[in-house]
Structure 1
Amino acid sequence: MNKSFGITAVLLIVSFYTVEVKAQQLYELPADAEARWVSFENRSGDKGRGAMENKGGKGHPSEWINAGQSVTLLDFDGAGIINRIWMTIIDRNPEALRAIHIEMYWDKATKPAVSAPLGDFFGVGLGRMAAFQSALFTNPEGKSFNCYIPMPFKTHARIVLINESKQNQLLFYDVDLTKVKKHLKNIAYFHAYWSNNKGVELGQDFEILPRVNGKGRYLGANIGVIADKIYGDTWFGEGEVKTYLDGDNEYPTLAGTGTEDYIGSAWNLGPFSQLYQGATVVDKQKKQFAFYRYHIPDPIYFHTDCRVTIQQIGGAGRDLIRAIVKAGGKAKPISVGTSRSLIKLLDDPAYPDLFDDKFPADEWVNFYRVDNYSATAYFYLDKPESNLPQLAPLVERIKGV
């Protein structure tokens, strides 16, 4: 190794480590900070009131949550910051993980800042449990849920779990937080929003995050795709992610180059999990895919509004697309990739029709299509409530899973 390069690398590592340690305040002892764990063993999180049942002998580690029942996991007065949420349930099938949903309210707001299916909220796309590790969520062995997103509040925090599934669920959980007298600076509130592409037409982008008004930071999303079987083995992931910031309308400020590109991979997609990007489900037989991207080292700030979309675009050869259309599938060619250039069909109305013999047979064709998309978007906002719609009803959430 080049000596100067080695010294530079060491300095970079030390510098990074110093920044990380300082950010986490590992060596500081703040005077007004107190640790609290809220679980069935200490519902209030009050000092000296944990593990009081059965004379301290594992008296209340869990509870059964009946079908149709809701349970308040956290109801905490005062200022603080949630640092970690862990939980598990006994029946973790995909339909249950879509039917059960979690809500979070900050500072006595009447509308939840977080409202999402349980699995999707914790990064488990399509409700399919798989072991993974990211910077915001982990699932160590494919049977639990962990969240490490900091969630500050000024006066009150409430978390509710609603069981809309058909089965009773045995629930274990804990919410780990730091209680403080007050926050030294203005805070942004954590939000999460789940959506699906019901009613999206051919050529229309799926909204990962509808336009949200306010000042904040977009953290990223986990996205699930169930490809329509009518498209066979053709590739679904040519769609670009677009982020519209602060008044953007027709065109976004931020635009990607393709689906697998957005999550840091390339040329098709295989399963992987890393801190800020990953694909937890790549099931080509069932045509199911789930992936995530978290904008932590590459922050996305907005000052008045933010909207995030992904195009529904796939790719295949001419004859495969012809067969899809003949079978009744929705497909519209938009560009042809040759060895020398990209022919932009939407800008060239004179180009031959798909069923014209002059349309090239041996080239890659990008085409609009319609698949089953869903997403959980995570962001901070300068207020505890947003203008976003309510969570979709159960029948929509479980479609396809």
Structure 2
Amino acid sequence: MNDFNGLGCNMGNLFRLSNARTRSISPENFTGEKGGGGRAEDGTGAIHARGLGIGWKVSPSIRIEPGETRCLADIEGPGAIQQIWMTPANAQWRDLILRIFWDEQEQPSVEVPLGDFFACGWNRYAQVSSLAVCVNPGRAFNCYWEMPFCGRARMTLENRSPEQHAILYYQINYVLTPLPEDAAYFHAQFRRNNPLPYKQDHTILDGVSGAGQYVGTYMAWGVNNAGWWGEGEIKFFLDGDTEYPTICGTGTEDYFCGAYNFDSGTVDENFQRSYVEFTTPYAGLPQVIRPDGTYNSQQRFGMYRWHIPDPVRFQADLRVTMQALGWRTERAQRRYLPLQDDIASVAYWYQTLPTQKFPALPDRDTLEII
């Protein structure tokens, strides 16, 4: 009897047979039903397919009107989402809010602006080459977090723009299969401080209740000071920790698996040192937006850290924070400078249900990238 459920696929088990049933949702098959693809008679590509008939790329994308929320997927389980591909057009990425609901919960377990979810928080393309998220030319968003569900999976996208419609091409690949009893549910939550209050930490995640594991962090960090900004420590408060955490990092770039200011240590022809972008399977600094001295004066950074081989496990509750520290200008006995930066983050984790209610997502003006 074949007992492999088809989940957790990797190079070591791809040879194994499974009774799992592969399905895919896209604008060419909105329900993912077997034999349901390529049947559209109308859609965003209909005018280009005129004279060719059904099956000739009649419905490759959807149009989401200003203020509209579209249901991208509504799947009856058990099963698991295994890959998501999306590419938006005609929209600011912070105007598009991705939500995912598990089973019959009214509370979303994922609520994140689209670009931030895919590790591109500044509404500007950056190549990301990691195991969990890939962003490829041009602005192709890919997610490989496996997302199991017992009863139902529902995914929506809201267009918050009051005047611009959005065009979305997407494909959601999933499998229908039994789940192990210990399968937890994928979660992702967005937070932003702009600016971060003086001498306060940025909260990446709080209010988690249940058992699970923390699996990743993305941060979009806009610096409002000159000089290095990443002396702050990440802290994981686990299972009843109050004033002091169980896990405390040594610096921002250290947590994101870099070192020494993300600086190569070499100088260019103008005798200037610089940040070095990198993107690897588990961690990266894929985006550095450098000031031009006139209108784009703030330095902006995008960083990710995936805890795939080293998930942070908790049994009852979890809180995650990040300090923002730079340096004061004095040279003798230097002191840290608490920063008041624009910091946005996405926390990724798995946990048991129910999902606790998230803090209200900021309104469109508060989310805006200036």
- TM interval, short-chain normalised: 0.7 to 0.9
Shift of 1:316: 4.1
The answer on whether the counterparts of 1:211 and 1:308 sit within 8 Å (CA) in structure 2 is: no
Q: Give distance in 1, aligned partners of 2:110 and 2:128.
A: 22
Q: Give distance in 2, aligned partners of 1:105 and 1:56.
A: 31
Which residue in 2 is equivalent to 1:26? Answer: 14
Residues 1:161 and 1:141: Cα distance change in structure 2 (over 3 Å): same
Shift of 1:261: 1.0
Q: Give distance in 2, aligned partners of 1:177 and 1:263.
A: 30
Q: Give distance in 2, aligned partners of 1:240 and 1:128.
A: 27
Q: Give distance in 2, aligned partners of 1:195 and 1:257.
A: 22
Q: Give distance in 2, aligned partners of 1:201 and 1:171.
A: 36
Which residue in 1 is equivalent to 2:243? Answer: 250
TM-score scaled by structure 2?
Answer: 0.85
The answer on whether the counterparts of 1:79 and 1:156 sit within 8 Å (CA) in structure 2 is: yes
Matched, 1:46 2:33: yes
SS of the aligned residue for 1:127 comes to coil
Shift of 1:211: 3.2
Which residue in 2 is equivalent to 1:390? Answer: 360
Matched residue type, 2:85? W
Which residue in 1 is equivalent to 2:22? Answer: 35
Residues 244-271 of structure 1 deviation map (CA, whole Å, 9 limit, x = unaligned): 1011110000011111111111111221
Q: Percent identity?
A: 37
Matched, 1:201 2:193: no
Shift of 1:186: 3.0
Matched residue type, 2:341? D
Residues 1:125 and 1:257: Cα distance change in structure 2 (over 3 Å): same
Which residue in 1 is equivalent to 2:282? Answer: 276
Which residue in 2 is equivalent to 1:72? Answer: 71
Alignment partner of 1:139 out of 127, 132, 135: 135
Which residue in 2 is equivalent to 1:8? Answer: none
Matched residue type, 1:28? R
Which residue in 1 is equivalent to 2:94? Answer: 98
Which residue in 1 is equivalent to 2:44? Answer: none
Shift of 1:170: 1.6
Alignment partner of 2:182 out of 183, 186, 191: 186
Residues 105-162 of structure 1 deviation map (CA, whole Å, 9 limit, x = unaligned): 0101101000010000111123321112111110111411100000001111100000
Matched residue type, 2:256? I
Shift of 1:38: 0.3
Deviates most, 185-194 or 382-391: 382-391
How do 1:2-401 residues align onto structure 2 when only pairs under 5 Å count?
A: 20-22=10-12, 25-31=13-19, 33-53=20-40, 54-91=53-90, 96-165=92-161, 166-180=163-177, 182-197=178-193, 200-228=196-224, 231=225, 233-269=226-262, 270-285=276-291, 286-318=298-330, 361-398=331-368, 400-401=369-370
SS of the aligned residue for 1:260 comes to helix
Shift of 1:288: 0.8
Residues 324-368 of structure 1 deviation map (CA, whole Å, 9 limit, x = unaligned): xxxxxxxxxxxxxxxxxxxxxxxxxxxxxxxxxxxxx34543121
The answer on whether the counterparts of 2:196 and 2:341 sit within 8 Å (CA) in structure 1 is: no
Q: Give distance in 2, aligned partners of 1:200 and 1:210.
A: 17
The answer on whether the counterparts of 2:195 and 2:341 sit within 8 Å (CA) in structure 1 is: no
Shift of 1:168: 1.4
Show structure 1 runs of 5+ residues with no match: 1-18, 319-360
Q: Give distance in 2, aligned partners of 1:387 and 1:89.
A: 28
Q: Give distance in 2, aligned partners of 1:378 and 1:387.
A: 16
The answer on whether the counterparts of 1:125 and 1:291 sit within 8 Å (CA) in structure 2 is: no
Matched residue type, 1:83? Q
Shift of 1:284: 3.6
The alignment's C-alpha RMSD in Å is 1.7
- Runs of 4 or more above 2 Å deviation: 19-22, 125-128, 198-201, 361-365
Residues 22-80 of structure 1 deviation map (CA, whole Å, 9 limit, x = unaligned): 4xx3111122x100010111111111111112421112111221221111100111211
Q: Give distance in 2, aligned partners of 1:64 and 1:20.
A: 35
Residues 191-220 of structure 1 deviation map (CA, whole Å, 9 limit, x = unaligned): 000001257431111101123111010012
SS of the aligned residue for 1:268 comes to helix
SS of the aligned residue for 2:11 comes to helix
Select the structure of larger CA radius of gyration: 1
SS of the aligned residue for 1:67 comes to coil
Which residue in 2 is equivalent to 1:6? Answer: none
